[in-house]
């Protein structure tokens, strides 16, 4: 627990960045956590005491600075409001959530390793995240790990767990991989399981809609990046260094 004096000095989520602005390497880094979220909305529709964040900054006081977040690809917190104060969250600050730490964090490994097996694991352990899941379907041989790994925090250390799907009694859900048809495309995704080992299904129409929304977002980001590159080229042609512009 943090002291009342420190809590008063901590910044509000209204003043903190909502992510680390690091672009995803592929669409699955957005698609798969969002699919987990969508299924939760269905199976926990009568519960208002949980929150699942996707690519959202998690601010805490166990790191080098409360202004330096960790940004999981997905995370689940229990015992918090679905919509904080009736509004959507921009980010998740532990000190604004009655000290509720995410119970689960998900990281998806891409072609550029991001410290999933060391730095981030250490951060989540220090924060007290009970379950840490690493999904690495493409580069697990390169990293000398398994494609799907579940770690549980035991006595302050993460211990790899055995079995898939893996049942998490504290969450009352299992998690694992499954081949599904998403938007007309068959692929492996992460899914929730019930206690009997049955997959909680995802309506294909909703998955297709989500994929289309992600495609539009990706195109919009590409257009913005192209505009920024053209502006930088123009500034350089005028003898202006775009990386050293004067502050307004």
CATH code, domain carrying 174: 3.90.1570
- Tokens 């964040």 belong to 53
3-class DSSP state of 59: strand
97 near 80, Cβ under 8 Å? yes
Q: In what order do the strands lie in the sheet with 173-182?
A: 166-168, 173-182, 185-193
In whole angstroms, give the CA distance from residue 116 to residue 106.
Answer: 10
Residue 233 lies in domain: 205-242
Structure tokens at 24: 């995803």
Specify the higher pLDDT residue, 246 or 181: 181
Q: Over the stretch 36-69, which tens digit does the pLDDT of each residue have?
A: 999 999 899 999 999 999 999 999 999 888 888 9
CB-based contact 39:191 (threshold 8 Å): yes
| Cα 59–chain centre separation | 13
Q: How long, in residues, is the chain?
A: 248
Report the alpha-carbon distance of residue 200 to residue 165 in Å, rounded. Answer: 12
* Same domain flag for 196 and 211: no
**In this predicted model, what pLDDT tens digit does every residue of 174-231 receive, in sequence order?**
999 999 877 777 889 999 999 999 999 876 655 556 666 667 766 776 777 788 778 7
Split into its structural domains, the chain has a count of 2
What is the mean predicted confidence (pLDDT) over 137-159? 95
* Distance set, CA 23 to CA 107, 109, 112, 203, 210 (Å): 14, 13, 12, 28, 18
Would 105 be classed as within a structural domain?
yes
Do 147 and 224 sit in the same domain of this protein?
no
């Amino acid at each position: 627990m943090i002291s009342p004096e420190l809590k008063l000095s901590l910044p509000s989520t209204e003043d903190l960045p909502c992510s680390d602005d690091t672009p995803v390497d592929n669409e699955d880094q957005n698609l798969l956590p969002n699919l987990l979220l969508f299924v939760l909305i269905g199976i926990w529709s009568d519960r208002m005491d949980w929150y699942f964040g996707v690519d959202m900054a998690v601010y805490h006081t166990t790191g080098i600075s409360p202004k330096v977040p960790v940004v999981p690809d997905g995370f689940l917190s229990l015992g918090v409001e679905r919509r904080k104060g009736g509004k959507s969250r921009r980010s998740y600050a532990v000190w604004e959530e009655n000290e509720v730490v995410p119970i689960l964090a998900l990281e998806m490994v891409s072609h550029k390793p991001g410290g999933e097996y060391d730095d981030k694991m250490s951060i989540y352990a220090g924060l007290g995240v009970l379950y840490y899941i690493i999904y690495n379907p493409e580069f697990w041989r390169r990293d000398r790990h398994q494609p799907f790994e579940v770690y549980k925090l035991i006595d302050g250390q993460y211990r790899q767990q055995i079995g898939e799907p893996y049942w998490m009694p504290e969450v009352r859900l299992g998690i694992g991989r499954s081949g599904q048809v998403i938007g007309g495309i068959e692929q492996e995704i992460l899914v929730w399981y019930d206690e009997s080992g049955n997959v909680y299904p995802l309506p294909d129409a909703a998955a297709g809609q989500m994929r289309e929304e992600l495609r539009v977002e990706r195109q919009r980001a590409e257009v913005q990046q192209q505009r920024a590159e053209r502006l930088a080229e123009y500034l350089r042609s005028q003898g202006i260094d775009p990386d050293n512009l004067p502050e307004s």
